[in-house]
Structure 1
């Protein structure tokens, strides 16, 4: 790589690291935010789901905007908005201010994330160089999710407001470096007609789908969730009809004829659901049942971030030797094994009993996440790289929402205030079946890949 390419990769990895860090730190700080702002349980949950709604609701729209109007331009603008809104969250004195800030921060991330990944896939030619860059990028994302729990615990001990201020400061540094190092790729579609009606229908479909998923984790919100999902389905139908009839579609539906792209996105959805569902169980288990602090919880799962070391070092060699599909399947199987090991959780567990799960999961994440991204973007023409990037990120985020909702629905059965520790433990064990099943199904999905079946 040239000096400019290394600088650009550093900047883009910093942005995706920041996105993971922001989400993880907030999760740790939630109890302190509730106490300081006197938030109800419903409002506290909405603080998390509002980000997901903004992020997932606009992700596909954001990816296509990158293709049409320039990835560098969209990246810099959305990063600037992220800086302003993250800082605003730290200044919130009312619940509604925090909700608005998190929704708009998620919206800015919906443009920033696909812009960042598509800048990598368009600036590095398909093959070993791009694979290496994508795997380094995925390692940075994993490190953000893992280290964010630890950093969030430290900052929350000072003040929960620093959970919002620190990402804004980091984003400022990234923005300054981005202006220097990032060069835009070709924009063959920059002057094409913009499909406004398709954009509106797509955004409505994604927004209602995100709202439906966010409400699934609340038993009292089941009717709202079903209504939102039904509206999402209606808007999806209208969107497909609109795209088939227009000469300049926002999304060329033919992209879904790629079997590898569809399989990679489905596997990523299941993989994201398993991973975030597992994180939810671990947080409840360590803090609610074992009485660990947020910082201790973060330190317990930090070994999962070994992915940040393995993804750019071990994974590229394995991909070059065995191919993407083979490496992905092994990674997903290891993830399923890691989750299955955690089914034995007990009230007398020490960290030594949990360590194998954390270590095996870190290796599995390193082998699955990056190569899935590669498969989802390989073979896609340059003027649709933003779309392909947003698809794979949307799959991961929606999977995360589904996983947490499914795990939460099972865990809540035994986590009432009147339930004893034994009943709550059994509920968490039942909830752990969701990550195990999701990872297992994801590995089966990738085993059906026809083109690389012989290599498996």
Structure 2
């Protein structure tokens, strides 16, 4: 057996402190997934107790996603400029405090504001954690294995959040705001105790204020406009005007970044074709994934009257696929290469979504729902980690936070955009016949994601 072949079979050995650093980074992303999914299940109870309309209640989830998706790039760059551990500790502290304020809130507006602030805090913690991971583990088997474990935590947070949120909401919806507090506090103390201090800066770093303002304004307006387009109408003055102003702000951001001495986003980073393609793929992948979950929720809950925890059990095989494959993914990436693993994962989404074309008046658990869940989990388990590895390879350490922010921002903006397009594609109603147009949309996303990667590798 060759030396290379043997090295791909033996998992990298890490000291205890390295494992702790990985667990801290993974705990951050687990908490993000947990918080997003728990609130989704608790919304009906919150709406009833606080007398919120459906249009207002949907912002309990939407405000978090709006802030998270819009501020990620800024959060990632701040991690590079001001220190990854420092940004992680401060933002996670804010996350814990705002969770407490949300648990105590009795006014719907304050509750939604708390969700927005939590999303903003998460926009700093997520890229800080991911860039800590990429700078801790060098490219190759070490980083491959670390990303596999990292994404097990991410998927586990989301899938377990549906179950945990359902159980807590039956007791009191405020418990879904309380649970993240001790986890966040534990992560703060662990980060201070075990993560290495940020290296000293040779000169005082200054934030590109003009770039930050135009980027934040453009991203906030874009994500908000796309998220609310289904209600306002894609051809409405509000939607078209919002997209035009968002485009103008982002154009201004690009002009500022070309002239400022220390840009917030060095536009030259997009010359890295692997990073650029990974961002496009991430947006398309998550757009299809969010659409898949949305269609499944409508079908099972609105059409067939299932409870959220029952839907969670349908998605359980997907979570199990991630948990089973994740720890072994590093060896798979090292043995077969990032490209092969990524293409295999992306290909699995196509039959997963195609199965939804067979949805009928009654749920077909054994030949439609569970196979689709398994295939979807397989695709997620293989492709997300591979995309992260591909998108951060060849990026300098001082720009790992930026690369992480770009990838996470693409995921969130893609998810919001995909959800809006799927919502616009399906006709209003509660009949199975309304779903095929939405399924064709997510199928198109899956095909385009695969084509983007195939095209890059063919050049």
State the match for 2:133 in structure 1.
Answer: 120
Tell me the secondary structure at the aligned position of residue 247 of structure 1: coil
Measured in 1, the distance between the counterparts of 2:126 and 2:203 equals 20
The partner residue of 1:426 within 422, 429, 433 is 433
State the match for 1:11 in structure 2.
Answer: 24
**2:106 pairs with 1:99:** no
Alpha-carbon deviations, 1:369-404, whole Å to 9, x = none?
Answer: 001011111100011000000000000001110121
Does the CA-based 8 Å contact 1:283-1:297 persist in structure 2?
A: yes
Q: Which runs of 5+ in 1 are unaligned?
A: 416-420
State the match for 1:147 in structure 2.
Answer: 160
State the match for 1:414 in structure 2.
Answer: 428
State the match for 1:291 in structure 2.
Answer: 305
State the match for 1:447 in structure 2.
Answer: 454
Measured in 1, the distance between the counterparts of 2:374 and 2:95 equals 33
Measured after TM superposition, the shift of residue 225 of structure 1 is: 2.6
Alpha-carbon deviations, 1:321-380, whole Å to 9, x = none?
Answer: 221122111101101211111221112224223110111111111110001011111100
Aligned residue pairs, count: 444
Shift in CA distance, 11/190, structure 1 to aligned 2, threshold 3 Å: farther
**2:78 pairs with 1:65:** yes
State the match for 2:357 in structure 1.
Answer: 343
Does the CA-based 8 Å contact 1:329-1:368 persist in structure 2?
A: yes
Measured after TM superposition, the shift of residue 190 of structure 1 is: 6.1
State the match for 1:75 in structure 2.
Answer: 88
Alpha-carbon deviations, 1:221-240, whole Å to 9, x = none?
Answer: 74323222211111111111
Tell me the secondary structure at the aligned position of residue 360 of structure 2: coil
Does the CA-based 8 Å contact 1:119-1:184 persist in structure 2?
A: no
- Computed over aligned residues only, the root mean square deviation of the Cα atoms, in angstroms, reads 1.6
State the match for 1:395 in structure 2.
Answer: 410
Tell me the secondary structure at the aligned position of residue 197 of structure 1: helix
Task: Provide the TM-score with structure 1 as the length reference.
Answer: 0.94
Shift in CA distance, 400/184, structure 1 to aligned 2, threshold 3 Å: farther
State the match for 2:315 in structure 1.
Answer: 301
Measured in 2, the distance between the counterparts of 1:403 and 1:142 equals 19
Measured in 2, the distance between the counterparts of 1:234 and 1:185 equals 36
The partner residue of 1:174 within 184, 187, 206 is 187
Tell me the secondary structure at the aligned position of residue 449 of structure 1: helix
Tell me the secondary structure at the aligned position of residue 456 of structure 2: coil
Measured in 2, the distance between the counterparts of 1:215 and 1:63 equals 26
**2:394 pairs with 1:379:** yes
Shift in CA distance, 312/190, structure 1 to aligned 2, threshold 3 Å: farther
Alpha-carbon deviations, 1:99-134, whole Å to 9, x = none?
Answer: 110111111011110000000001111211011112
Q: Which runs of 5+ in 2 are unaligned?
A: 1-13
State the match for 1:228 in structure 2.
Answer: 242
State the match for 2:196 in structure 1.
Answer: 183
The partner residue of 1:239 within 253, 260, 270 is 253
Measured in 1, the distance between the counterparts of 2:438 and 2:207 equals 45
Alpha-carbon deviations, 1:255-307, whole Å to 9, x = none?
Answer: 01111111001000011011111111111111111111121121221211124
State the match for 1:418 in structure 2.
Answer: none
**2:289 pairs with 1:275:** yes
Measured in 1, the distance between the counterparts of 2:69 and 2:301 equals 29
Measured after TM superposition, the shift of residue 189 of structure 1 is: 7.0
Tell me the secondary structure at the aligned position of residue 435 of structure 2: helix
Measured in 1, the distance between the counterparts of 2:372 and 2:200 equals 45
